[in-house]
Amino acid sequence: MSDRSQFQAELEKLVASHALHGSESLCKLLRYLGKQAIDHPGVPVKEYQIATELYGRQADFDPQLDSMVRVQAGRLRAKLAEYYNTEGATDRVVVELPKGSYAVAFHERTTAIAAHGNGAGAAAWANNPVESPASVAQGRYLVTGLSLALVLALAVAGWLWAHRATEASGRGSAPESAALAPIRIFWNGVVTGPEEPWVIFSNAQFVGAPTFGMRYYDAARDGKTPILDHYTGVGEVLGVHNLDLAFQALHRSLRVKRGSLFSLDDAKNNDLIFIGSPGENLTLLDIPSTKEFVFRRVVEGARAGNMEIVNVRPSGGEPPGYMASPSNVQMVEDYAVVALVRGINPEHWELILAGTTTIGTQAAVEYVTRENYVSELLKKMNVTQPSELKPFEAVLQVKVARGVPVESSIVAIRVLK
């Protein structure tokens, strides 16, 4: 097979398939790699080339620091395998993205040729010498057996495809759909975008070393001391895990990046989910953030160094600020902000999930990924459908036991205009 139009038709069939439905970024990658294979056959495609030409990364893109291209390629391979195991089980032409390569390959599937009884397989049967009755009978049994196997395979593939289509429309049983309803309403604006949102988790700047102790970097004190920016808290780790589970239930995907690798280009072109406060997720200092409930580090007094949530305009007896239990006693209480605001590009959302400590951050993520909590949030804002959800900022009070958030509740909320 060497017809350019046929290659292009196979790519478009994949893009329109159920397996790739809703994965705009993967379709874009497939089209790009397919075009490279058609226009420049035999020429390898580099990771750097994909990152800069397709995803708009800057010229200083370093594949060792940003695995986005490898992650997307791995997801595309999985989707291609899913397609050819279900709705594309009888396709004559197979499109592959071999592991360790970004060069798309097109090839004919020999089993499909044999099943259709044409091509090289038919020629081999026609040129066979005269056979004995026994061998003819044996051949007939073989053909019958293969035909039955093919029919069974097609039936199974059809059932799987229909079952997946049913899942796509109904998403399982009624109880599951009912439980997911609040989650779908809250996340609708993010999960229906053309690209998967970026999850940006905090990784504060430290100096020192794990072997003899680390502390937060202080520009005035530490000068040009080497900075460690590859650590994060347990709350951030568990938060990413909870988000991933929630998006799996919504049949969507996430892209994850640590804060120090975040760029303003990411902010302009994507929906963003920030995990961690501006005290550690420093990228929040460079973009539109909260205005009603603002994080600041206490600079003097007994709580110096602790993070506080400042209530800019207290109302109805609300306190002027919120702080976790003192650091010199066992933590029993923390506070967190959950805020949905418009980004630098108003067409995109920013969701900020941040506690005054890493435990509060974990609680903030749990609040927007658990049905009971999301239902409570939507009820407070009188939201019953996605179109009614407006930007907001809220403060959570988090009860903590043995370092784990056990209960969260809204103590202040502002619905923004």
Mean pLDDT of the chain: 80
Q: For residue 334, give every residue at least 6 positions away whose Cβ sits within 8 Å of its Cβ, in sequence order, or none.
A: 324, 325, 355, 356, 357, 359, 360, 363, 398, 400, 405
- What pLDDT is recorded for position 153? 53
pTM: 0.59
CB-CB neighbours of 97 under 10 Å:
21
Its sign, for the CA torsion 380, 381, 384, 385, is negative
The angle at the Cα of 240, spanning 381 to 357, to the nearest 5 degrees, equals 75
Average pLDDT in the 96-112 region? 80
- What pLDDT is recorded for position 333? 96
Percent of the chain with pLDDT over 70: 81
Alpha-carbon distance of 393 to 339, in angstroms, equals: 4
Its sign, for the CA torsion 108, 109, 115, 119, is positive
- What pLDDT is recorded for position 377? 95
In this model, does residue 146 exceed pLDDT 60? no
In this model, does residue 372 exceed pLDDT 80? yes
Name the helix (H) or strand (E) containing 275.
strand 272-275
- What pLDDT is recorded for position 276? 87
In this model, does residue 84 exceed pLDDT 80? yes
- What pLDDT is recorded for position 130? 39
- What pLDDT is recorded for position 11? 87
- What pLDDT is recorded for position 152? 53
- What pLDDT is recorded for position 43? 84
228 vs 284 pLDDT, higher one: 228
Alpha-carbon distance of 76 to 18, in angstroms, equals: 13
Cite the DSSP H helix spans in 280-370.
358-367
Task: Please return the burial class of 221, using the count of CB atoms within 10 Å of its CB with bins 0-12, 13-18 and 19+.
Answer: exposed
Partners of 257 in beta bridges: 200
| Phi-psi sector, 135: left (phi>0), alpha (psi -120 to 50), beta | alpha
Alpha-carbon distance of 191 to 6, in angstroms, equals: 33
Task: Give the neighbor-by-neighbor strand order of the sheet with 321-323.
Answer: 293-297, 307-311, 321-323
Which two tokens mark 176? 């599951």
Confidence grade of residue 118 (pLDDT, cut at 50, 70, 90): very low
**How far, rounded to the nearest angstrom, does the alpha carbon of residue 254 sit from its chain's CA centroid?**
1
In this model, does residue 360 exceed pLDDT 50? yes
Its sign, for the CA torsion 172, 178, 180, 186, is positive
In this model, does residue 159 exceed pLDDT 80? no
196 vs 415 pLDDT, higher one: 415
Average pLDDT in the 183-194 region? 84
Q: Is 140 helix (H, G, I), strand (E, B) or coil?
A: helix
pLDDT digits (tens, 9 = 90+) for 288-339: 688 999 998 888 888 888 889 999 999 988 999 999 999 888 999 999 999 9
